[in-house]
Amino acid sequence: MKKLGYLLSVSVFVWNLFSCRHSPTIPETPVVSYKKDIQPIVIANCATSGCHDSIDGEDPVLETYSDVMKIVTCGDAHSSELYQVITGKGLATVMPPASSAQGPLTDTQIKEIYLWIMQGAKNN
């Protein structure tokens, strides 16, 4: 009887181990658009006067798709500096800072950026 209990325990453990998801499935639709979804977030929250704009801003400048792609790793949000800085993962501060006029990004905005990166960070 102990042997049966042991085998059952091991079976349940193995089942749980292999049935766990380690990374989310990224939906292919709806496609997150850079021009329609991501660029407005970046322009309104990052590329503002005195921040990451080309006039008097800080590096990196984030006004164009090419600028943004300098801090994005296509298909890997967790390795992308953009995603790290908006979530604060691996960094000391979150951007935009809570003290800014815009405040930090919303969960919905962060999710859109995450999905866009994971969908290949296309210039669409």
Per-residue pLDDT of the chain (124 residues; tens, 9 = 90+): 555 444 444 444 444 444 454 566 777 778 999 999 999 999 999 988 788 888 876 789 999 999 999 999 999 999 999 999 999 986 767 899 888 888 899 999 999 999 999 999 999 9
Asked whether the beta carbons of 76 and 117 are under 8 A apart, the reply is yes
User: Domain limits at 109?
Assistant: 26-118
Residue 51, in any domain of the structure? yes
Residue 79, in any domain of the structure? yes
Residue type for 95, please? Answer: M
Before 60, cis peptide (omega within 30)? yes
pLDDT digits (tens, 9 = 90+) for 44-63: 999 887 888 888 767 899 99
CB atoms within 10 A of CB 62: 25
Residue 102, in any domain of the structure? yes
Residue type for 90, please? Answer: G
Residue 19, in any domain of the structure? no
Q: Look at the chain and report how many structural domains it folds into.
A: 1
Mean pLDDT of the chain: 83
pLDDT at 89: 86
Q: Tokens standing for 85? A: 């800085």
**What is the Cα 14 distance to its own chain's centre?**
31
* Predicted model pTM: 0.76
CB atoms within 10 A of CB 8: 10
If you search the block for the tokens 């929250």, which residue do you land on? Answer: 45
